[in-house]
Amino acid sequence: MREAAFIKQNKEKWMAFEKAIHTNSKINPDVLADYYIHLTNDLSYAKTYYPESKTLLYLNSLATQAHQKIYINKKESKNRVISFWKTEFPLFFKQYHKTLLYSFLIFSIASAIGVLSALNDDNFVRLILGDAYVNKTINNIEEGDPTAIYKSGSEIGMFLGITINNIRVAFLAYAFGVITSIGTGYILFSNGVMLGSFMAFFYTKGVLFEATKTVWLHGTIEISVIVIAGCAGLIMGNSILFPKTYSRRVSFIKGAKDGLKVVISTLPFFIIAGFIEGFITRYSSMPVWLAMTIIFGSLALIVYYYIFYPIKLNKRLENEINLKELS
């Protein structure tokens, strides 16, 4: 059978199944199981006759989502919270890796603009960071401790204040997606420019390494998770701009729910970043090797959980589906 005829013959069935698993519509369990059996049969057929086609990619993605919906979440246990971060979210997030890349690129380009602007205009840093902060930091640099600002206040007070503020920024990046991806793009861009000008400021004062060693103790997780929260906003914003086969309303609801899942996943990481900033960053005199261990360990944690772990779990799930097809 030609691929076009295969798609035409089964398109309505696939779309009905996709709608059922994404909108939580009430559907008879027997009908749902029948849909799933037909889907796996179609997937097997597509693997044989249309390898590396878009049809195969679509069916494979749909089968993975269906398997997760039917088997992974079939029982709500008291360990639901643990299973969300351990299994449910990583399986779900793999489909949004490209959106995460776009969020990262927006933030990175904005950071580069912030660096270049600060290096070419001394007043740019004051415009972005404010006179009070810049003057205080310059005073700290002259006194030999460029990151002394992180040592002010109580440890618990700083931990709570920083954590709450970071979570606020994350939800803001997500919420601005309601005015399409442009809103979230603005939040990412403004934060990226701020970071770039901030680091360029320390470079112009000749204390870049010392500042980097201290700031990135908490900043590695903090900045990474802001980018991830930006991904959440782009998911919601893109659902408005690109509804695909859904109505715009249904697409928006799905995008808002998916984006909210991403934001919720960041909460433990913001708590970790707040803890580091409140209790560890103030010890800027720590050995370089210890600081670098914390920085690169934090980076490895983020990259593994949001990139490699979802890929690993989805491959495992695909293998389970293939075994079910063979049995």
Separation of alpha carbons 319 and 305, rounded Å: 20
| Contact between residue 101 and residue 188 where contact means Cβ atoms under 8 Å apart | no
| Contact between residue 160 and residue 147 where contact means Cβ atoms under 8 Å apart | no
Residue 138 is encoded by which pair of tokens? Answer: 């310059």
Write out the DSSP string of 215-269. Answer: HHHHHHHHHHHHHHHHHHHHHHHHHHH--TTS-HHHHHHHHHHHHHHHHHHHHHH
Residue 88 is encoded by which pair of tokens? Answer: 């449910």
Write down the pLDDT at residue 152.
67
Furthest-apart CA atoms within the chain: distance in Å: 78
Separation of alpha carbons 248 and 266, rounded Å: 27
| Cα 41 → chain centroid | 33
Which stretches of the chain score pLDDT less than 70? 21-34, 67-78, 151-153, 321-327
Closest CA to 187 of 195, 179, 198, 176: 176
What are the extents of the domains in the chain?
3-74, 95-313
Helix (H) or strand (E) holding 146: none
Write down the pLDDT at residue 250.
83
Write down the pLDDT at residue 263.
95
Contacts for 295 with CB less than 8 Å, ≥ 6 apart: 213, 216, 217, 220
